[in-house]
Chains A and B, each alone.
Chain A
Amino acid sequence: MAKVLGIDLGTTNSAMAVFENGEAKIIANKEGKNTTPSIVAFTDKGEILVGESAKRQAITNPEKTIYSIKRIMGLMMSEENAKEAQSKLPYHIVDRSGACAIEVADKTYTPQEISAKVLMKMKEDAEAYLGETITDAVVTVPAYFNDAQRKATKEAGTIAGLNVLRILMSQLQQHLLMVLIKKMLSRS
């Protein structure tokens, strides 16, 4: 029976859990930590760093270290929040047919694509821990996220190779996430 990965995709940090023997179990990442910084960095050498290592080099690489991407997830450039983020974040937020995107070393990425890199690391680390392939996931979003933002979060999961079964509001996550996972497990 394939496991469903529960991911709390946070603005600053992300965490993941699976339902095991009737209990939710937080999975530590490859580095042995329960949380992974939601940071993606593009190095001069063309490497892509995700998580702790991206955070450690942030100061040396401010324009190509993408953090707090959730702030512009699913936003249009015309929105107030997008303008505020653009003025505060050190990397380049650009207009891609009306929607927010970021520009790194002459390439544009959607917030979905950046978040997907975080999700992909979470997926890989969980697979290494569980010793099995993961395809299904439940991802949390803040309760204030509108439909476009939720849809974008789901797209991020799809890019990461995850079949996102549900998008959950994070206020309810502690309890509901696990109840949902339980339900899905018993169904599959």
Chain B
Amino acid sequence: MGRYLPFAGKNAIAEMSIGILFQSAFDPGFAEKFPVIKDEFAADFSKCEPMQQFVLNFGAAQPFPFPPSVQPPQNPSGVTFTNVRADGSPARLFRIMSNSISFHMMEYTSWKEAKSLALNYIARSLTKLATIDKNPATAFVVRYCDRFTFDGDPKTASAENLLRRDSGFVVASVFGSGPNWHCNSGWYQPLINEDVALNNLNIASALMQATSSVTIDHTNLFGLAKPCNSLSELQEGTKDRPPLEDVLNKQHQANVEVLKKLLIPEILKAIGLEA
């Protein structure tokens, strides 16, 4: 009988992201800060890519086919820093774009290292941007994307080879329905005292190139009851909110608990999360 396995040896984590959302986009004025930001991270990342964000307006009043109304800024409105592997794919990525700052790890090592790097990059970028007093932080995000591939006849792959029927996260109809299905859900959960975090859990199983793969994409978003307009307050916390690091730890733990409820014991053992 076949079984699901972590897609890359002992690694099931295809991508992990840590991010902070802000009240407004960094766009106005980012172009002025871009050279300073670029220099700040030149030693950390091998590739720096300026980004531009466009607004496309599609209106019902316009005739079809209609030209989109485009207002392209002529200067960078964001930036992506990347460390790439020999094959050109990203290993680590740090992005400032729109109203978010995020760190992405495709070569995941540990929560300790990922968190340490993210906190370091976030602090340095916010120091150089110097906009948090006017553009406060509004939410923290932790996201894990896990992948599993099926070893066996792919047509026999089924949800019960990976997921617990009694997790409460997956509809019963996906079990026994073969290798193609998906189940998306969302719920609010207390994270810091009574303050809740939004969980999005998107699970998809697909047969592609004779391989059955399941992707488990879990995001935990903690919205701040009061926007934070100070880097020191972000890092040290307030009487109502722990420091950023502690909140991220709780968000990471939320992901662990979802996986422990979701996955069958053999899979938890394979990824080092057995009880």
Do A and B interact with each other, yes or no?
no
Query: Residues of B with Cβ closer than 8 Å to A?
Result: none
Query: Residues of A with Cβ closer than 8 Å to B?
Result: none
